Amino acid sequence: MVSGVGYDQGTKQLSSLQPNESVRIRQGGVWNPAVVVEQHKSPRSYIVATSNGTQLRRNRQHLMPTNEPPMIITPPMEPVGEEERCSGIAPSTVRSPVRSPVIFPSTEIEEEHVRTPLRR
């Protein structure tokens, strides 16, 4: 088929991604950070975990590999119960550590605004 040659001329195969590889996931016009969990059984699909811990299945064309350090996705720690407190410390001074989620700056793609000429 001759017409298929011209159509496929500028295409290339995207590289495969490895588990725990840091990527950016396209959501609308914004590229948000994520980590590859595993390759899905469907071709070119991956399971990725976002910064808030949500796991999503995305096609390879919506994932961009980065050189950023991989995110550490941990659920928030629960408060310490009464039975776990030390007996020699006053209850008001015991606090459980709270981990905040890792937040990376998002990269937005700005769309070019085209001005139309004024009619006279």
Domains and CATH numbers, the chain: 21-65 (2.30.30)
**Which residues in the chain land under pLDDT 50?**
82-86, 89
Predicted confidence at residue 3, as pLDDT, reads 65
According to DSSP, residue 82 is labeled: G
For 58, the token pair is: 């995305």
Predicted confidence at residue 86, as pLDDT, reads 47
pTM higher than 0.75 for the full model? Answer: no
CA atoms within 13 A on the CB side of 89: 10
Predicted confidence at residue 109, as pLDDT, reads 61
